[in-house]
Amino acid sequence: MSGSSGSSGSPGPSAALPGDPPGGSRAALVWGVGVAVYFVAVIFRTSLGVAGLDAADRFDVNASALSTFSILQLLVYAGMQIPVGLMVDRLGTKKVLTLGVVLFTVGQLGFALSPSYGMALAARALLGCGDAMTFISVLRLGSRWFPARRGPLIGQVAALFGMAGNLVSTILISRMLHGLGWTATFAGSAAAGVLVLVLLLLFLKDHPEGHEPAPVSHAGGAFVRRQIAQSWREPGTRLGMWVHFTTQFPAMVFLLLWGMPFLVEAQGLSRETAGELLTLVVLSNMVVGLAYGQIVARHHAARTPLALGTVATTALLWAATLAYPGDRAPMWLLVTLCVVLGACGPASMIGFDFARPANPPERQGTASGIVNMGGFVASMTTLLAVGVLLDATGDDYRIAFSSVFVLQALGLTQILRLRGRTARRERERLVASRVEAVHVPV
């Protein structure tokens, strides 16, 4: 989508941009199928977060080796973002999502049946490859089926359903592990992938009738280089990537792997209480996501303050928890930390709201891939740093988790550097669109 919702001079709440898709119940159904695919992908992605201690016992590995599971998965995910964006722009949503479902379902089943650490690593890599194809596809699906002004809210709602998948992991997968065991839990969950594959093949369509994208020349390597270069040249794309980089990873690291060990081993909580705190992060994410989506859709200028405010608050609570006197932080502080971590995911979605108006429809997938790569590179780096530091310091979580501040400082510097350029570029596009509108013959 090429419009910028909520910006000055944009259409009012009831207006539609020229050529906008109509939305409606059919759009909700088709988009809902895509969201269901993303929902299952997140369940599979985050299932290791509640199984970290079980995985360490099953494969007899230390903290660094355990973190390799998530690092490899995220390495594949991050490395696939730009290729997937190009695939979505070229092949369409349905083909890419279909391939993604097959890969992450096979990966989840392989993880259930792996007899060794090496085979389990390969299964997580396959899962990460399939997972990488879901979110960008869902974002593009939303832009093809709903009016541009709904972009921020549609993106946040999609992320909300992803967090609901995380909620399934923290509640259902955790209980299944202790009731059914490793193999039955992961193999049984793979059936959800088969279900969404059937729904996808039956009901999903790339775009509504009458809103086919304009034909684009896909001339091999030249097309790829042009798509990437033109997307990267836009300061809004780069700003979006750094916003995603800086905001997403603290909660991702906490939920994906290290939250449970930190709460159990460093804070002395039971696994049940730790699971409840992880659930609190997810619930907070869902509530904040709806609020951020509404705010950005109505007040475009709120994007940067929301992103910077989330980074500052997260850093403050993280520092307060790690620096609290004594061996353990009080429960009220841990609860507050988890509530604040819940804002990280919604804040990362703001990155797409910088890239979306900066790129035309035929580059949306590529630009979204660049943005989405940011947070997962940061998460992967921090997962590795925490694992290495834990092994090097004898499981000192205060030192290990302090690595978060290094990446936050790097990302914050880039956000402050790029926000002025992005604002100027958006004003230039707004002026150009007004001039073009004045010269359009009636």
What is the rounded distance in angstroms from the CA atom of residue 154 to the CA atom of residue 5? 12
Mean pLDDT of 388-402: 92
Q: What is the mean pLDDT of the chain?
A: 85
Mean pLDDT of 4-32: 58
Of 18-22, 66-70, 344-348, 421-425, the one with minimum mean pLDDT is 18-22
Q: What is the pLDDT of residue 307?
A: 96
Percent of the chain with pLDDT over 90: 43
Cβ–Cβ under 8 Å, residues 134 and 368: no
Contacts of 37 (CB under 8 A, 6+ apart): 97, 100, 101, 134, 137, 138, 196, 200
Question: Hey, which of 55-64, 125-134, 403-412 has the most confident mean pLDDT?
Answer: 403-412
Cβ–Cβ under 8 Å, residues 122 and 312: no
Task: Kindly tell me if the per-residue pLDDT of 45 is higher than 90.
Answer: no
- The pLDDT confidence band at residue 20, using thresholds 50, 70 and 90, is low
The end-to-end CA distance of the chain, in Å, is 24
- The pLDDT confidence band at residue 343, using thresholds 50, 70 and 90, is very high
| Residues 2-13 pLDDT 10s | 333 333 333 443
Q: What is the pTM of this model?
A: 0.77
Q: What is the pLDDT of residue 354?
A: 93
- Which is more confidently placed, 438 or 228? 228
